[in-house]
Structure 1
Amino acid sequence: MREIERVISSARYYSMEDSCAKGGVRMECFSVDESGYTGFDLLNPEQPFQGATAIGIDDAEARRLIREHFPTLQASELKYRALARRPANHSRLMALQRDVLTHHKCVTYVCDKRYLLLLMYLDYAVEPFYYERGIDFYEDGQNYSLASVLYTAGPTLLGNGALDRLLASFQYAVKVKSPEALAALVDAARASRWQELPEALRPLAQFSAPECLNAIAAPGVSTDAAFVVLQSVVNRMEAMADGPYRVEHDQSKNLLTYHDLLQRYIRHEDVITFRQSKIASISFPLKLQSVTQVDSKASPAVQLADVMIGAAIEAANTLTGKRAGSLDAKQVLGLYADHQLIHMLPSIDFEDQKRFRQGTQAGQVIDYFAKNFHQP
C-alpha cells in the first residue's frame, strides 16, 4: 500500500481542457467507465479493487488518439484487457495513457474493497453506538485510521480467520437484514478476540448495540461500492468542469447503478456544500446536466476510459502482490498527477490521515446522502 501511495505522490502535474457538443450546444463531456464492480460482495478474491475513470474528451479526438497509437487495430473496439495480453502493445498503451493525461482532463479512482467494507462496518456497526453517547466518531478522520488498523493488524489481533468471518457476516447482514443474519453478526464479533480492539468490536460483542443493528437493517443501507466510487469521481468532475457538463458511459449492466445514481444527483436541487477532506468537497446543485448511456463500440472516448481504469486496477493488483500485471505498475501510476488519481487505501500514517481529514464533515455527509440518495 505504501508503495502505491509513494508512486502517486511523486507523479507529475498536467492539466488541459476539452469539450464536446450535444444537440448543437457546446458543453463539456466526460466519458466514464468502471472496473471491478461486484455488487454488494466486497470480499470477492478475484476482484479486490474497484474503480472508475472519467475523461474530458470528444469522440473525434479520442478516435484520432486511438488511430495514432494503434494504427493497425482490427478489433471493433479498444479494450485494455485484450491489448495488454500482447507485449508488442505495452509501449503503445503507455504512450496512449501519457497522451490522455497530458492533454485532457482526467481522473481515475481506485479503492481497496476490503478496506472500504471495513469503513462501512465502522459506519453502521460502530459509529451509531458512539453517536448515542455524544462522541464524534468521525472527528479528523479517526474512522479511517481505525479501519487501517483493522485492515493491517486485525487478522492477527482478532484471531485466526475472525476478521474474515466478521466482514462476511456484516455484508450478508446488510444485504438480507434478517434477525438471523444480525444475530450471526453479533456471534461473529463475540467469537473474535474483540477485547484486543474494543473500539471497533465492543458495540456488537459486548452490548449487541440496538442502534447499530437498526442502522444495518435500515432500508437503503448497502455495501454496494458504486455509490462511493461515483461520489469520488463526481467530486473531481465538478472541480475540473469549467461550467455545465454532461456524462456518457457504457451500456453495461454494471453501470446501470451508476446511471441511476447520476440521475438522482442531477435532480437534486438543494443548495449545500460539504467538506470531505483537505482536497475534496462537494456542492449541490451540481454542474452536471445530463447522463447518457452509449454503446462503447461506437464511443472511442468510453474506450479510452476503459484503457485508463483497466491499467490502473491492474497496477494496484501488481503493487499489492495480488497478481502480476502486463505493464510496469510503477510507470503506470507515475503517469498521473496528484489531482488525477484518487485512491482509498489503508494507511498507518495516522498523523498524515489526521492532517488530511482535519475539519471534515463526514458525519453530516453520510447522514445527508443516506437521506437523499440511497434507494428505499
Structure 2
Amino acid sequence: MKVRGTAVACDESGSDGEQLVPATHPVFALGSVILTHGQADRIMAEARERTGSQAQELKAKSVVRNDKVVRWLMGSESPLLGNACTYLVEKDYFICAKIIDLLVEEVFYGKGIDIVQGGEVRRMAQTLYHRGPEVLGQTWQELLAAFNSLHRRRVRSGEKVNVEQFFHLVGRLPAHTGEERLDEVLTVLKASRKYAEDFQDLLDEPTVSALDPIVPALERTVSRWASLREQPLRVYCDKYSHLERPEAVGVLYRYWRNVQQIRVQQVKLVDSKKDSRVQVADLVAGISREYVQRVLGGDVGALDAVPALRSFIHPDSLWSDSGVWQTLQPTPVIAGPTRSQAMR
C-alpha cells in the first residue's frame, strides 16, 4: 500500500550531540528537502558530474570546496529554491538560552511569574549572550562549559560536573556588574540550585536530551513545512543516536500533535547511502553551515558569492539578534514556496 503525504528528508551538519562548549563547530545546521526520489537522483548525479566525484555518497565537505557547484546548487537558479530549508543553531547562544530555560525561568515560575509570555525569556538570553563574555571575562567560558557538563546525560571524557561544583562557580560570579539586566540574570541564577538538582533526576529518562540541537531543529523544521503544505508529513532522517530511542521520537510526535496541531505520519531513520533525498539534505546543511560560519568568523562578504543562500535559512533559527543575523536574514522565498515549485 502506497504511503500518502509529503516526504521531508533531513540531515544535519556540525553536530557534536550535547557537547556544545567547547564545540568542534560553532554552528549546527539541519538541512531539509521536499523532493521525489527521481528529483534527488538527478540533482546528485549532476553534482557528481560537476565535481568529478566518483564517491558512492557525495558529501557536503567535497562540494563546498567548489564555488561553481555551490552557486549552481544554492544560487539564484538553484533547482532547490522553494524545496529546501536550513535550520541553524548558534551553539553559544543556544546554551545561553538553555541556562535561562532550565534554571532562571524555573525560579520565576516557582514564584508564579510567567516570563515566557511577552518574550522576557528571549531578552534574558540575549543579555547573557551579548554581555556575559565582556563582563565576566574568562569565567564566562567556564560557566558555559560547566552548565553544559552538568546538564548532559553523560560526558565523553573526564568527569561530569556535579551540582556542587557548578554552584561553587556560580557563587563566584559578581553580585554587581554595573549592568542592571545582567545583574538580574546572575542573581536569579544563583537562586536556581533546586531546579538544577531536580533536572539531574530526569537525566535517566530516555526522553530527555535538553542540549542536543537536533530536537528544536526537527521540531521547527517539520512545523515549518507543515505550515506550507496541505498534506500530512513523513519525515526521513539520516541515522542519529538520539532519534534511535523510540521514547525520544515520541516526544517529537506529541509536540507536533499537541502544540503545533500538525499531523506527522512517520519519522523514519534511513541509510543515507541508499536515499538520495537525504544526500541532498546533507549538501544543503553542510554548505549552509560552512558559509554561515564564515560570516560568524568575520567574513561579512562570504554570502556575496551565494546571495540566494539566505532564501534557504529558516526564519526561526536559534540565533542571537546580532549583526551576523542581520547579514543572514532570510529572504521571502522559503517563506512561501508554491505547490508548483514543490512538485517540479
Regarding TM over 0.5, the answer is yes
Secondary structure (helix, strand or coil) at the match of 1:117 reads: helix
Partner of 1:242: 230
Please report how far the alpha carbon of residue 223 of structure 1 lies from its aligned counterpart in structure 2 after TM superposition.
2.0
Contact 1:120 1:223 in 2 (8 A): yes
Partner of 1:257: 242
Q: Distance in 1 between matches of 2:317 and 2:57?
A: 28
Q: Distance in 2 between matches of 1:94 and 1:338?
A: 8
Residues 80, 136 of structure 1: alpha-carbon distance in 2 compared, 3 angstrom cutoff: same
For structure 2, the residue ranges without an aligned partner over 5 or more in a row are 327-344
Contact 1:107 1:342 in 2 (8 A): no
Residues 347, 87 of structure 1: alpha-carbon distance in 2 compared, 3 angstrom cutoff: closer
Contact 1:157 1:193 in 2 (8 A): no
Q: What's the Cα RMSD here?
A: 3.2
CA deviations 1:297-327 (Å, max 9, x no partner) are 22211111011011111122100117x79x9
1:169 aligns with 2:146: yes
CA deviations 1:341-374 (Å, max 9, x no partner) are 542111269xx9xxxxxxxxxxxxxxxxxxxxxx
Q: Distance in 1 between matches of 2:67 and 2:220?
A: 33
Please report how far the alpha carbon of residue 87 of structure 1 lies from its aligned counterpart in structure 2 after TM superposition.
4.9
Amino acid at match of 1:264: G
Residues 348, 29 of structure 1: alpha-carbon distance in 2 compared, 3 angstrom cutoff: closer
Please report how far the alpha carbon of residue 113 of structure 1 lies from its aligned counterpart in structure 2 after TM superposition.
0.9
1:84 aligns with 2:64: yes
Greater share of strand: 1
1:211 aligns with 2:194: yes
Please report how far the alpha carbon of residue 95 of structure 1 lies from its aligned counterpart in structure 2 after TM superposition.
4.7
Secondary structure (helix, strand or coil) at the match of 2:102 reads: helix
Range with bigger deviation, 181-190 or 93-102: 93-102
For structure 1, the residue ranges without an aligned partner over 5 or more in a row are 1-22, 274-281, 353-376
Partner of 1:132: 110
Please report how far the alpha carbon of residue 330 of structure 1 lies from its aligned counterpart in structure 2 after TM superposition.
4.2
Q: Distance in 1 between matches of 2:95 and 2:184?
A: 17
For 1:98-113, what aligned pairs fall within 5 Å after superposition?
Answer: 98-102=78-82, 104=83, 106-113=84-91
Partner of 1:278: none
Amino acid at match of 1:98: S
Please report how far the alpha carbon of residue 115 of structure 1 lies from its aligned counterpart in structure 2 after TM superposition.
0.6
Amino acid at match of 2:171: R
Range with bigger deviation, 89-98 or 240-249: 89-98
Please report how far the alpha carbon of residue 250 of structure 1 lies from its aligned counterpart in structure 2 after TM superposition.
1.8
1:189 aligns with 2:157: no
Contact 1:118 1:147 in 2 (8 A): yes
Amino acid at match of 1:146: M
Work out which of the residue numbers 11, 18, 28 in structure 2 matches 1:40: 18
Q: Distance in 1 between matches of 2:305 and 2:68?
A: 17
For 1:1-376, what aligned pairs fall within 5 Å after superposition?
Answer: 23-71=1-49, 72-87=52-67, 89-95=69-75, 98-102=78-82, 104=83, 106-158=84-136, 160-175=137-152, 181-196=162-177, 197-205=182-190, 207=191, 209-220=192-203, 222-251=210-239, 255-258=240-243, 260=245, 263-265=249-251, 268=254, 272-273=258-259, 282-283=260-261, 286-321=262-297, 328-332=302-306, 334-337=308-311, 340-347=314-321
Count of matched residue positions in the alignment of Structure 1 and Structure 2: 308
Partner of 2:332: none
Residues 267, 47 of structure 1: alpha-carbon distance in 2 compared, 3 angstrom cutoff: closer
Amino acid at match of 1:202: T
Residues 340, 176 of structure 1: alpha-carbon distance in 2 compared, 3 angstrom cutoff: closer
Partner of 2:337: none
